[in-house]
A = this chain, B = another copy of it.
Amino acid sequence: MRMTALPPPWDSVDDRLRARGLRWTPQRATVIEVLAEADGHVSGAELVERCRLRDPSTIPSTVYRTLDVLEELGLVRHGHGPDGREEFHVRPVEEHGHLHCAECGNSWELGNERAAAVADALRATDGFEIDIGHVTLVGRCRDCAAGA
């Protein structure tokens, strides 16, 4: 039923699962087909919705549990949007952070190099290695801060 083979790093998920004593199921295949077509970010609810398009019998808890195992395999990583809701970074996106302006509501990505400055500041003060992609940093953007 699948027209094309999955692109890396999704092409061998089945074997990677079995190698860990886990199982390859049709439900997991659906989730992975959808993820392979996603472009970087998906929320849990969005993913459930898109899976339901392919397979109307999709059950939310199964999708969320699949996301948990894929996160253990390092194929997705969850983070949190400005409202704290979960969102998933889907490989192969480059590691990056998110900025959100509470005033105008706009969001920006914080590239790896610029994120490094933040990481350095925390490492220096606390020895803390921040996972910059995990939470969305909230504040005011340059423009909104200027017009205050």
Contacts and interface: CB of A to CB of B under 8 A. Distances in A.
Interface of A: 80, 83-86, 99, 101-102, 108, 110, 114, 117-118, 120-122, 124-131, 134-142, 145
A114 B110 contact: no
Main secondary structure of the interface of A (DSSP, over half): mixed
A137 B110 contact: no
Contacts of A137: 122, 128, 130, 134-135
Given A84-B85, A126-B114, A131 B138 contact: yes
- Oligomer: number of copies: 2
Contact of A117 (B86, B110, B125, B141): B125
A41 to B, nearest CB: 15
